[in-house]
Structure 1
Amino acid sequence: MAFNGSYELQSQQNFAPFMRAIGLSDDLIEKGNGKESTSEIVEIGDYFKVTVTMGSQVIVNEFVIGQETEIDSPSGEKIKTIIEREGNYRLVAKIQNITSVVEVTGDQLINTMVIGNIVYQRISKRVS
Structure 2
Amino acid sequence: MSFSRKYDLESQGNFEPFMKVVGIPDELIEKGKDLKSITEIVQTGNDFKITITIRSNAIHNEFTFGQETDFATITGSKIKACVNMDGANKFIVKLNSVTSVSELSENKLLDILTIGDITHKRISERI
* TM-score normalised by length of structure 2: 0.97
Partner of 1:119: 119
Partner of 2:77: 77
Cα distance, 1:15 vs structure 2 = 0.5
Partner of 1:24: 24
- Give 4+ residue runs of structure 1 displaced > 3 Å after superposition: none
- Listed one character per residue, the Cα deviations across residues 69-128 of structure 1 (whole Å, up to 9, x for unaligned) are 10111111111100001111001011101111000011000000000110100000001x
d(CA) in 2 for partners of 1:56, 1:30:
18
Partner SS for 1:87: coil
AA partner of residue 58 (structure 2)? V
Q: Which runs of 5+ in 1 are unaligned?
A: none
- Listed one character per residue, the Cα deviations across residues 5-48 of structure 1 (whole Å, up to 9, x for unaligned) are 00000000001100000001001111211112000000000100
What is the 5 A alignment of 1:57-96?
57-96=57-96
AA partner of residue 32 (structure 2)? G
Partner SS for 1:20: helix
d(CA) in 1 for partners of 2:11, 2:70:
27
Q: CA RMSD in A?
A: 0.8
How many residues get paired? 127
AA partner of residue 125 (structure 2)? K
Cα distance, 1:2 vs structure 2 = 2.1
Which is further off, 29-38 or 109-118? 29-38
* TM-score normalised by length of structure 1: 0.97
Partner SS for 1:35: coil
Partner SS for 1:58: strand
